Amino acid sequence: MKIRLTGTEEEITGAIAKIKTCFEVSEVSKFYLNRGGGDQGRVYVKVKNAVEK
C-alpha cells in the first residue's frame, strides 16, 4: 500500500512514527516541498502487512 502524507516536515515525521506502530514500513521518500514556498510538503510511504502485536 502507498500512503501520501502532506504537512510540515515535523508533522510528517510524527505521522511516520505512528504508522510504524501499525504497519511494516518498507520505504519512505525524501521530503518534497510543495510549490509556492512555505514549509508544507509531502512524503510518500510504502507499507506492508499490519504489525502483529
How far apart (Å, rounded) are the C-alpha atoms in residues 31 and 21? 21
Q: Phi, psi (5° rounding) for residue 11?
A: -65, -45
The number of residues in the chain equals 53
The pTM (predicted TM-score) of the whole model is 0.86
CA angle, 44 then 7 then 38, to 5°:
115
Contact 22, 51 (CB under 8 A): yes
Ranges in the chain, pLDDT < 50: none
* Structural domain spans, the chain: 2-50
Strand partners, 50: 23
